[in-house]
Amino acid sequence: MSNEKIQAGLDKYNASVEKAISRFPERPNLPEQRLYTPLDIKDTDYADEIGYPGMYPYTRGVQPTMYRGRFWTMRMYAGFSTAAESNKRYRYLIESGATGLSCAFDLPTQIGYDSDDPISEGEVGKVGVAIDSLADMEILFDQIDLGKVSTSMTINAPASVLLAMYIAVAEKQGVPADQLKGTIQNDILKEYAARGTYIFPPRPSMRLITNIFEYCSKNVPKWNTISISGYHIREAGSTASQEIAFTIADGIAYCEAAIKAGLHIDDFAGRLSFFWNAHNNVLEEVAKFRASRRVWAKVMKERFHAEKPKSMMLRVHTQTAGSMLTAQQPNNNIIRVALQTAAAVMGGTQSLHTNSRDEALALPTEESVMIALRTQQIVAYESGLADVIDPLAGSYYVEALTNKIEKEAWEYINKIDEIGGAVAAIEKGYIQKEIQDSAYKWQMDVESGAKTIVGVNKFQIEEEPPKGLLKVDASVGVAQCERLAAMKAKRDNEAVKAALADLKAACQDENENLMPHILNAVRTYATLGEICGVMREVFGEYEAHVNL
């Protein structure tokens, strides 16, 4: 059918719409365009912009057969209280069918403090597991074969230390480093922009990241050395286009830093991974996933001249949107998570964590975690969504929206380039302000009723106070400090002192890769706080400021 014929039909349809609207007025605050036709994608070149799964530009997925050969990794994010309690949860998840682990660490661990530091009081084990030393890491993975499981760790500023602990535990299990599979988040730029668990200033932070790239390319080749995270950018309030634009801009900065440090793009790019949010608008999310793969493929091919196909593939872990969970009517969150799961699967994620219904109130109970895991399993085995590849390809709306999100993302990336790159854009407050403006608009729309959140600003009910929530008792912190004191008394403190002195000297030499020195310190049972303390002494600490 010719475009002229389609346009004539569309004109006829639009004329009929006026009559329909007079009888049934449309809801307010809807997108301006109500219908999509072949005219909306008439300039799209199928071969160059959509293509085929497993082939450049990877719009339709990074694997030729996607889930027909293997489902995504069902990686449930977990960790709370002590290493022993978290180990029980991990083994429970594996027994229930989870195919990967994802470690949540408490706030002191995330910002490089031991549990006995005064700054840690009241936070030990609260939002994740407390890890002070190799001794805790040994307990965390007790009876879990690190040669068989893939582990993701949501850790950023002290990522090098936690990775070193993981390698050391594997050594004790007899698993060589070159057999380890997993991911460290290791994305410090989004911490400055959106999340806040940073320690060091940008320059030494980027050095630590590129040190990890270099070390793992030679010693831990199956490990994903960074998970460049849009998830937290979206949780802070960004739009879908901003999520992928700001995250890919961060990815560009990491690549540039690694190349400046002497690495070749194809030596490390294949182990870069991304972390997306699965938000509520299902079709927009599917388009976002598709657009993000296309943008990254073009960045790697055209900007960095990567030659290996793996270097151009945007591989992504996804988590359903925590910020969309509501404390009101928490069972509604089961439906939200199911829709977000469907979006991630139709979008082609490689790995997925599904949030639990009660996480707007507390840490999830075992029952809630089981429902969240079963949500993935039902989508995988019963929905049919995993049976065909990129099932929404060809939808006039989804293809047009994919193009729109890509266009908006490029506009942001080009603007960030003009500013001087992601680091400069963060230092000048540009990215932070864009996110804050989007978050403010969302909240105003919710408060005005322009955006409906079921159970929050519409369809409210009287509810009983929630019962049976999982709470971490303050005694956990006391017991953790006692175990830490006992470990310090038993270890070889002279060996610790020597290892920390060696690390300090290495920190002062900008050309030295710090990973071997951190690993050496970890093996002596030097604590996270002691290791990060040495680096704080040499590198200093980052102080947030925003120039608007």
Give the span between the Cα atoms of 402 and 50, in whole angstroms: 10
pTM value > 0.85: yes
Q: Which tokens is 83 given? A: 């290493």
Q: Which of 539, 536, 497, 530 is nearest to 116 (CA)?
A: 530
Half-sphere exposure of 98 (CA within 13 A, CB side): 27
| Residues, the chain | 548
Handedness of CA 488, 489, 492, 495 (dihedral sign): positive
Q: Which residues contact 207 (CB under 8 A, 6 or more apart)?
A: 261, 510, 514
Residues 67, 380: contact at Cβ < 8 Å? yes
Q: What is the largest CA-CA distance in the chain?
A: 85
Classify residue 369: in a domain, yes or no. Answer: yes
Classify residue 168: in a domain, yes or no. Answer: yes
**Number of domains within the chain:** 1
Classify residue 480: in a domain, yes or no. Answer: no
Classify residue 191: in a domain, yes or no. Answer: yes
Cross-strand pairs, 152: 102, 183
CATH number reported for the structural domain that contains residue 170 in this entry: 3.20.20.240
Classify residue 109: in a domain, yes or no. Answer: yes
The range of the structural domain enclosing residue 53 comes to: 46-385+407-448
Classify residue 397: in a domain, yes or no. Answer: no
Q: Which of 457, 531, 464 is nearest to 500 (CA)?
A: 531
Give the span between the Cα atoms of 539 and 518, in whole angstroms: 15
State residue 78 phi and psi, 5-degree precision: -155, 155
Classify residue 37: in a domain, yes or no. Answer: no
Residues 296, 248: contact at Cβ < 8 Å? yes
Question: Could you list the pLDDT tens digit for every one of the 548 residues in the chain?
Answer: 789 999 999 999 999 998 899 889 999 889 989 999 999 999 999 999 999 999 999 999 999 999 999 999 999 988 989 999 999 999 999 999 998 899 999 999 999 999 999 999 999 999 999 999 999 999 999 999 999 999 999 999 999 999 999 999 999 999 999 999 999 999 999 999 998 999 999 999 999 999 999 999 999 999 999 999 999 999 999 999 999 999 999 999 999 999 999 999 999 999 999 999 999 999 999 999 999 999 999 999 999 999 999 999 999 999 999 999 999 999 999 999 999 999 999 999 999 999 999 999 998 999 999 999 999 999 999 999 999 999 999 999 999 999 999 999 999 999 999 999 999 999 999 999 999 999 999 999 999 999 999 999 999 999 998 888 888 888 999 999 999 999 999 999 999 999 999 999 999 999 999 999 999 999 999 999 999 999 999 999 998 765 54
Classify residue 475: in a domain, yes or no. Answer: no
